[in-house]
Chains A and B, each alone.
Chain A
Amino acid sequence: MNWLTQHVWLIPLLPLVAAGILAVTPRTQRRFASGLAISALASAALLSLVAFVATLAPGYTRTVVNTPWFTAGELTLHLGWILDPLSAAMLVMITFVGSLIFIFSTGYLAEDPNYARFFGFLSLFAAAMLGLVIANSLLVLFVCWELVGVASYLLIGFWFTKPSAAEAAKKAFLTTRIGDLGLFTALLWLNSETGTLLCYDHGRGCLETTALSGLVAQTTVLGLTMSAAISLLAFWGAAGKSGQLPLHVWLPDAMEGPTPVSALIHAATMVAAGVFLTARLYPLLSAAPGADGLAFSTATPALVTIAWVGAITAVLAALCALAQNDLKRILAYSTVSQLGLMFVGVATGGPAVGMLHLLTHAFFKALLFLGAGSVIHANHHEQDIRRLGGLRRFMPVTFATYAVGMMALSGIPIFFAGFWSKDAVLHGALEWPVSRGPFILCVIGAVLTAFYMTRQICFVFLGEPRAPHSGSHGHAEPHESPAVMTAPLVILAACTVLLSLVCTPFWPALEHYLSGPSEDGHEITAGLWALLALSTVASFIGVGLAAWAYQSVRTSNTSTDPWARRYPSVAAVLHQAFGVDALYAATVRRIGWGLAQAAAWLDRWLWVGLVDLVQTLGQVSGWLSRKVDEEALNGGFDAGCASTQATGNWLSRLQNGRAPRYLRFVAVGMMLLTLWLILGRNAG
């Protein structure tokens, strides 16, 4: 067990090897491909569990192993991995949820011709994601950060013959790469200031006191401390990966990928990497100048920014989700909104609070996406909620598990982990000394969340089948998915319920595990009870309002959205997500395109014009030098020059273009200079 804490790199190695083998596996080996991928990840899950148990030992803080990768002059880059509660909890979550999603995929993609490739990509993703969470070197973290982006690109575009999928893949990669530039710059800067990219290195790491004291002592642009400036750049990267404003536009489009991909990458794990990063870098984000050089505070410029960006994103994305009609797009906006909530948690309540919500969200959002996948699979790839309906009768298991996920997300109290973790975030936001704003926004977000989830349930599972499965397609009735797909749903639903045991403020085992032993336990105060009551009321208001508003939907087969019909302009604005995409198309893309046009034009006319000018000059001087050559210097060459000229003559016989004229120009120039040099030296 102790041995494993020193060798956690074995955990990502397993799926990496699987991905390598699958890269050269013929695509007919379908059973082998899925079997290998699942067994590799399941073994990684076992190892993760062992590592996790090791971290439960009393007094355990972290195990860090660093090893030099290469040295280049003044810089030695290290590889390093870390096993602390943060990474151990992520390891268990990723391998466990990942294994279930892998199993689900064997059913969901059973008929896809590129089944083997799919599992290869999934394994690559899993390896990179696991590497990301155990990275102690921020360089390794960045490498894995990029690799999960590549895997995401490949998987969003998995059905690349669909132009929308290829376009979405491109958009996702490009947008996250814009974020990555911020993170990359942050790392360069951090490295240049602290001389290391290792988080923890026995006192010399960049997240340890010595380095942080140096960073907070210096002031840079806009009066920010160095640590704040670097933190903000890093958060720009986190915002890109985790779909926060203004870089959220790629995530809803990413739903073009197969649904298990949406569940694993664009709900449970990769998109949470940004939140994980802020949790990992929390010492840096919260570092502030203090009485004795260094203090930690939740009111640093970085954390204030994160809290506000997260809270605003949470509300705006929830508003967008209200007016979406695509089953998966609703969940995508919901993910954006929940990620915002996690950022609020990290910024106001500390990393343990944000991570708590990240972990519970991973379970219930994966559950919801897989449930959506089950629905889509059973309904001939119909994703428009207005064309579904009444599925509770046809798909009872999917309905029951989906309802668990929906209640967890909506914050229905007591039995669902989502309620408690969201409550922890709200508690953190309420006690945040800087402002009440994020708290209020989060409460509004909670109401909206309950509302859009209820709307979705009304359309999809309640009422009667809506769009008649127009006989033209000859589609059969919807049917419950096979056991290989429903079993993961049931397990995830069970986890969503069971996790609530360790998330309550009465026994906050998970939060204490994440925050470490030093943190004081929450007192159960009257304020906490009031907060629990408030959040309960918020979710019931949301559910009740939606149930009332969509009464016609949940009792009949109507496919019109009564609210969208009553307020068409509002619905249109929300449906188009406040027109951010259009705004970007009109500004960023157009400006970029204009710049490209301008540069290309300059390249074509200005520089080429200069070239033509030089060409003319060259011809003139070529003519001049030939005159000089023939009339002034004729016969005055010595041995070295003569050989050069002979070469030139030989070449000019081979020529069929005009270049030799220039060759001769150079040859003559060379001779002139040599002569001048010889004469000059002789004279001197």
Chain B
Amino acid sequence: MLAWTLYLSFGAAVASFASARCCPAVARWIALLGSVGGLVLGIVGALTLPAGGGLNTLVQVPWIPWLHAEYHLAADGISVVLVWLTGLAATAGVLFSWNLKHRAGEFFGWYLVLVGAVYGVFLSWDLLLLFVFYEIAIVPKYFLIAIWGSTRREYGAMKLALYSFAGSAAVLVGLVAAYALGGATSFNLSTLAAQPVAESVQHGLFALVFVGFAVLAGLWPFHTWAPTGHVAAPTAASMMLAGVIMKLGAYGCLRVAMTLFPAGLAPWAGVFGALAGIGILWGAVVALRQTDFKFVIGYSSVSHMGFVLLGLASATTLGLTGAVLQMFSHGVIAGLLFAVVGRMVYDRCHTRNLDELSGFALARVLPWIAVTFVIAALASMGLPGFSGFVAELKVLTGAWNRFPGWVAVAGLGLIAGVAYTLRAIQRVFFSGEPETAGTAPGHALEPVSLPEKLGTVLLVAATLVVGLYPRLLLDWILPALQTPLFAELRRRAGG
């Protein structure tokens, strides 16, 4: 049933493109149906998996026989968690794009292609298939930004595409080499992992593939595509971009680089731990002096993704579960933040400048927006009760024994995180002069609509539920890390 998330999204995409000719108004309903359907299929499908969080093959048929490539979809607990995230982010993205009028059929069409490709990446067990989905995901991103984007959209789209392709190229080289040098007879992940290439080769290939994927996860210093891309993207796309696309990169690091080249991690762990730590602090510090609201959130994504990479680099079970949990958590929280900035604030005030926004006295005129942002900000700062706290706690605990110094740097990043978040809250919402509020343009602002409220509730509920009851996801993630795929990694980390 999980495989149908993929087909449903692509089917809805076709329907949406078709509607562009005749009836673009129904496109958003098609998109809503497709994304909610994906979410429901994801949940129901996961609950009916025979092996739970272990490895479940969904489909396995020959694809390119002479390459031994198969159309092989499978899911373990990590896939399930990320499929759920995709469903949540996709649904919320549609809800927050409900007011989109410009070429709606094509917009939602591309959007659903993106969603479908993401499902494809998370569910592929054949490396070549995974890579194809990974590439497919890049294309709609480009169009979504270049056509429906805002600030410097062509530049942002270009930069994003360029980075993605450069990363993919590195990944491809690594994959082909692993296939050729390992003497493998298929692109099946489990088979490849069971026949590793020589250790000395692994060292080089690991770095190549890890960096190639990590570019998309915002690894410092390959992160600069992220803020500009996020800022240029329309709301739904920036929610998907920060919420899910960045996870594709992290997922690739974990699923491919770390399992195919487990011996390669050891010499590089220190380097990537350092880059992750620097990225956490760097992103937060740069966010501190942005004047564009969306850039603040964009850089915060770089900072938070640093925790994912730090957890991965630690390679302890604790760090890895924390990293996967943080993928989910950041996906939800970043989605919420971008929804507030892009949909709730920018669509109403037509500015994202922090100082100009203070004139709108949003906290008085539209308190729903202020409350939503404060909740999202508390979650983003890693306050207990929200998913970010558990995730970052696990990452830092897991990483402590490996690199206490970088954990301390990450701690400084947490403080800078509080600083930029509170700065943004204060500038945007709580510095309007009460005298001018009566005459501010805020009075003409459109009230918060029902789809926006639904989207907010959906995402806030997700981060709260996971924050209060993390076992909901941990019970899926842990069995996945116990599968044979991670056996070599576990052995090396445990030793």
Interface residues of A (CB under 8 A from B): 70-75, 139, 142-144, 146-147, 150, 157, 160-161, 163, 166-167, 169-170, 173-174, 177-178, 181, 184-185, 188-189, 191-192, 592-593, 595-597, 599-600, 603, 607-608, 611, 614-615, 618, 639-640, 651, 654, 656-659, 662-663, 665-666, 669-670, 673-674, 676-677, 680-681
CB pair B430–A659 under 8 Å, yes or no, is: no
Please tell me if B470 contacts chain A, counting CB pairs below 8 Å.
yes
For window 218-235 of B, CB contacts with A under 8 Å fall at: 221, 223-225, 227
Q: Which one, A139, A178, A597, A681, contacts B415 given CB within 8 A? A: A178
Please tell me if B462 contacts chain A, counting CB pairs below 8 Å.
no
Given contacts A70-B470, A185-B408, contact A608 B224 (CB under 8 A): yes
Q: Which of B36-44, B72-80, B173-181, B328-336 contacts A (4 or more CB under 8 A)?
A: B173-181
The smallest C-beta distance from B302 to any residue of chain A, in angstroms, reads 9
- With a cutoff of 8 Å between Cβ atoms, the chain A residues found around residue B348 in the complex are none
Interface residues of B (CB under 8 A from A): 64, 67, 135, 138-139, 142-143, 146-147, 154, 157-159, 161-163, 165-166, 168-169, 172-173, 176, 179-180, 221, 223-225, 227, 282, 285-286, 288-290, 316-318, 321-322, 363-364, 378, 383-385, 389-390, 393-394, 396-397, 400-401, 404, 407-408, 411-412, 414-416, 418-419, 422-423, 425-426, 429-432, 434, 470-471, 474, 478, 481
Q: How far apart sit A166 and B428, CA to CA, in the bound complex (Å)?
A: 12
CB pair A662–B162 under 8 Å, yes or no, is: yes
- With a cutoff of 8 Å between Cβ atoms, the chain A residues found around residue B142 in the complex are 657, 659
CB pair A73–B318 under 8 Å, yes or no, is: yes
The smallest C-beta distance from B324 to any residue of chain A, in angstroms, reads 10
Q: Which one, A147, A192, A607, A677, contacts B385 given CB within 8 A? A: A147
Q: How far apart sit A618 and B147, CA to CA, in the bound complex (Å)?
A: 23
CB pair B180–A188 under 8 Å, yes or no, is: no
Q: Which one, B159, B169, B227, contacts A611 given CB within 8 A? A: B159
The smallest C-beta distance from A672 to any residue of chain B, in angstroms, reads 10
CB pair A188–B317 under 8 Å, yes or no, is: no
CB pair B415–A640 under 8 Å, yes or no, is: no
The smallest C-beta distance from B106 to any residue of chain A, in angstroms, reads 10
CB pair B289–A596 under 8 Å, yes or no, is: yes
CB pair A618–B162 under 8 Å, yes or no, is: yes
CB pair B422–A614 under 8 Å, yes or no, is: no
The smallest C-beta distance from A153 to any residue of chain B, in angstroms, reads 8
CB pair A150–B224 under 8 Å, yes or no, is: no
- With a cutoff of 8 Å between Cβ atoms, the chain A residues found around residue B394 in the complex are 72, 75
Given contacts A146-B383, A181-B415, A603-B286, contact A666 B168 (CB under 8 A): yes
CB pair A677–B383 under 8 Å, yes or no, is: no
The smallest C-beta distance from B363 to any residue of chain A, in angstroms, reads 7
CB pair A677–B159 under 8 Å, yes or no, is: no
- With a cutoff of 8 Å between Cβ atoms, the chain B residues found around residue A170 in the complex are 422-423, 425-426
Q: How far apart sit A645 and B67, CA to CA, in the bound complex (Å)?
A: 18
- With a cutoff of 8 Å between Cβ atoms, the chain A residues found around residue B471 in the complex are 70
CB pair A669–B397 under 8 Å, yes or no, is: no
- How many contacts A-B (CB < 8 Å)? 170
Q: How far apart sit A676 and B180, CA to CA, in the bound complex (Å)?
A: 10
Q: Which one, B146, B163, B224, B430, contacts A157 given CB within 8 A? A: B430
The smallest C-beta distance from A372 to any residue of chain B, in angstroms, reads 25
The smallest C-beta distance from B14 to any residue of chain A, in angstroms, reads 14
Q: Can you list 27 A-B pairs, Cβ within 8 angstroms, ordered by A?
A: A75-B318, A139-B393, A143-B384, A157-B430, A160-B363, A161-B364, A166-B426, A167-B426, A174-B419, A181-B415, A184-B396, A188-B400, A191-B397, A192-B401, A595-B285, A599-B286, A611-B224, A611-B225, A656-B146, A657-B158, A659-B142, A659-B146, A659-B162, A663-B139, A670-B172, A677-B179, A681-B180
Given contacts A72-B317, A173-B422, A181-B412, contact A611 B165 (CB under 8 A): no
Given contacts A163-B431, A614-B166, contact A607 B67 (CB under 8 A): no
- With a cutoff of 8 Å between Cβ atoms, the chain A residues found around residue B165 in the complex are 618, 662-663, 665-666
CB pair B161–A659 under 8 Å, yes or no, is: yes
CB pair B161–A662 under 8 Å, yes or no, is: yes
- With a cutoff of 8 Å between Cβ atoms, the chain B residues found around residue A592 in the complex are 285, 288, 416, 419
The smallest C-beta distance from B362 to any residue of chain A, in angstroms, reads 12
CB pair B317–A181 under 8 Å, yes or no, is: no
The smallest C-beta distance from B99 to any residue of chain A, in angstroms, reads 24
Given contacts A174-B419, A611-B224, contact A146 B168 (CB under 8 A): no
Name the CB-closest residue of A to B417.
A177
Q: Which one, B390, B396, B430, contacts A160 given CB within 8 A? A: B430
- With a cutoff of 8 Å between Cβ atoms, the chain A residues found around residue B416 in the complex are 592
Q: Which one, B163, B166, B172, B408, contacts A673 given CB within 8 A? A: B172
- With a cutoff of 8 Å between Cβ atoms, the chain B residues found around residue A673 in the complex are 172-173, 176
CB pair A611–B162 under 8 Å, yes or no, is: yes
- With a cutoff of 8 Å between Cβ atoms, the chain B residues found around residue A74 in the complex are 316-318
The smallest C-beta distance from A293 to any residue of chain B, in angstroms, reads 24
Q: Which one, A163, A640, A674, contacts B176 given CB within 8 A? A: A674
- With a cutoff of 8 Å between Cβ atoms, the chain A residues found around residue B318 in the complex are 72-75
- With a cutoff of 8 Å between Cβ atoms, the chain A residues found around residue B139 in the complex are 651, 663
CB pair B401–A599 under 8 Å, yes or no, is: no
